[in-house]
Structure 1
Amino acid sequence: MNKLQSSLLFCLLMDAIGYATYAVPFLGEFGDIIWAPLSAIIFLKTFGGWKGTFGGVFNFIEELLPWTDFIPSFTVMWAWQNLIAKRKTDMMMKAA
């Protein structure tokens, strides 16, 4: 498994943990209170810079708000960083 695949697997795992708080009725929101700050810190450490800061704040709010855990924040940022941003860079390199 290469670095790109392992980082995608990590992001999918982080999103799955966020979804898991729905698994136990009534305890799910309590789980979100614990998971929200942890996931925000992990998000910041994983992506760094302004993307990590913005995404960490978004992830924190998304985990605390009821019924928003379905948003795969980690996986969306992984896709943005590894697919969309890379494609833009490749296109700019070809144009130069």
Structure 2
Amino acid sequence: MTNTKYIKLAGSILLDAVGYVTFLIPGVGEFGDVIWAPASAYIMTKMYKGKKSRIAATISFVEEALPFTDVIPTFTLMWLYVYVFSAEKPSEEQTIDVD
């Protein structure tokens, strides 16, 4: 699990960097976004599963399609959401039933 987790983090950072490239190249950015926006949405649904991935894919598509929003690291934010903020943590308190 841990290796997969960090492989997804590296992939997320790489995919966000691809999104930045279209923003950095003047004149090419708009054309690149036309191709990258649906591709990023598709990749998001393959990297993560369930309803969360479909919501993240929609956000990724809109973020890549809108001008000047390429700097938002959508893939990395999704990784943080899945593995840091919504990860189930064991409870510190344990209840023991005594009959």
| Equivalent residue number for residue 3 of structure 1 | 4
Tell me, in whole angstroms, the C-alpha distance in 1 between the residues paired with 2:64 and 2:93.
Answer: 41
Indicate the residue corresponding to 1:34 in structure 2: 35
In the alignment, which residue of structure 2 is the partner of 1:48?
49
Shift of residue 24, structure 1, vs aligned partner: 1.7
Is residue 94 of structure 1 aligned with residue 92 of structure 2?
A: yes
Structure 1 residues 12-65: Cα deviation after superposition (integer angstroms, max 9, x where no partner): 001000001023211101100000000000001111211110000110010000
TM-score of the two chains, using structure 1 as the length reference: 0.89
Secondary structure, counterpart of 2:24 in structure 1: coil
Unaligned runs of 5+ in 1: none
Matched residue of 1:54: which SS? helix
Q: TM-score under structure 2 normalisation?
A: 0.86
Q: Does 1:17 align with 2:18?
A: yes
Between the two proteins, what is the percent identity of the paired residues?
40
Larger Rg: 2
In the TM superposition, what is the alpha-carbon distance from 1:73 to its structure 2 partner? 0.5
Structure 2: stretches of 5+ with no match in the other structure: 95-99
Higher helix share: 1
1:94 deviation in Å?
Answer: 3.3
